[in-house]
Amino acid sequence: MTLNLLYFAWVRERIGEPRETVETTAETVMDLVRELKARAPRYELAFSDLASLRVALDQELAEFDAPLAGVREVAFFPPMTGG
């Protein structure tokens, strides 16, 4: 499947780009993270502490065990606070 990935804040800084399109066989967000971490050290660094990350699937907050079936966009970002 083809996914559009979006990276925000320090995730974008560590990966070095704000977005990319990937081909994946991942079934869950965690599977996708494992695939990305295997690509290059910059991904390993960006995804080294999943407790410090949030994920949204097609602009809806999700968990890392969420399935990717039917998803077109995955966004990774740090937790946000209001103010």
Q: What does the pLDDT read at residue 50?
A: 93
pLDDT in tens, 20-59: 999 999 999 999 999 999 999 999 999 999 999 999 999 9
Has this prediction a pTM greater than 0.75?
yes
pLDDT at 83 over 70: no
The whole-chain average pLDDT of the chain stands at: 94
Q: Closest by alpha carbon to 45, among 18, 3, 15?
A: 15
